[in-house]
Chains A and B, each alone.
Chain A
Amino acid sequence: MSFLQYLRLADVMARMSLRADASKFFLGYLWWVLEPFLYVGVFYVVFTMILTSRQEDFLFFLMIGKFMYLWFSKSVTQASSSIINGRGLVGQIHTTKTLFPLATVQEGMYKQAAVFVLLFIILVFSGYPVTSAWLYLIPLVIVNYIAILACSYVGATLVCIVRDFLPLIGMGMLFLMFTSGVFWNVRELGSPEKSELLLAINPVAFILDAYRQILMYQTPPDLAHLLSIGVGFAALLCGMVLLMRRTSQFLALKALAA
Chain B
Amino acid sequence: MTQDRGAPLLELEDVTLSFHTSRKTFDHGIHRVLDGVCMKVYEGETVGVVGRNGVGKTTMLRVMARILAPNSGRVTSAPGHHASLLSLGLGFKLDLSGRHNALLAAMLQGASRKEAEAALHDIKEFSELGDSFEEPVKTYSAGMRARLSFTTALLTDVDILLIDEVLSVGDAHFRGKALAAMQDRIAGEQTVVFVSHMAEQIKKLCTRVVWLKDGRVEMEGDPTEVVDAYQAFINDGHRQGRETQMAEQARRDTEKAD
Q: Which residues of A contact B (CB under 8 A)?
A: 1, 5, 8-9, 12-13, 16-17, 19-21, 23-24, 86, 88-94, 249-250, 252-253, 256-258
CA distance A71 to B109 in the complex (A): 31
Interface residue from A16, A252, A256 paired with B96 (Cβ < 8 Å): A16
Is the CB–CB distance between B104 and A12 below 8 Å? yes
**Which residues of B (154-200) have their CB < 8 Å from a CB of A?**
none
Say yes or no: A92-B69 contact (C-beta < 8 A), given A12-B113, A23-B136, A257-B19: no
Q: Which residues of A have CB within 8 Å of B22?
A: 258
Is the CB–CB distance between A252 and B112 below 8 Å? no
Is the interface on chain B under 10, 10 to 19, 20 to 34, or 35 or more residues?
A: 20 to 34
- A interface footprint on B79-115 (CB within 8 Å = 1, 0 otherwise): 0000001010111011110001001100111101100
A93: nearest chain-B partner, CB-CB: B108
Tell me, rounded to whole Å, the shortest Cβ–Cβ distance linking B91 to chain A. 4
**Which residues of B (35-65) have their CB < 8 Å from a CB of A?**
58, 62, 65
Interface residue from B90, B104, B112 paired with A92 (Cβ < 8 Å): B90
B22: nearest chain-A partner, CB-CB: A258
Tell me, rounded to whole Å, the shortest Cβ–Cβ distance linking B12 to chain A. 15
Say yes or no: A92-B67 contact (C-beta < 8 A), given A1-B110, A12-B104, A257-B19: yes
Q: Which residues of B contact A (CB under 8 A)?
A: 19-22, 31, 58, 62, 65-69, 85, 87, 89-91, 93-96, 100, 103-104, 107-110, 112-113, 136
Is the CB–CB distance between A9 and B107 below 8 Å? yes
Say yes or no: A91-B93 contact (C-beta < 8 A), given A5-B112, A12-B113: no
Is the CB–CB distance between B104 and A253 below 8 Å? no
Is the CB–CB distance between A93 and B67 below 8 Å? yes
Is the CB–CB distance between B67 and A13 below 8 Å? no
B153: nearest chain-A partner, CB-CB: A92
Is the CB–CB distance between B69 and A8 below 8 Å? no
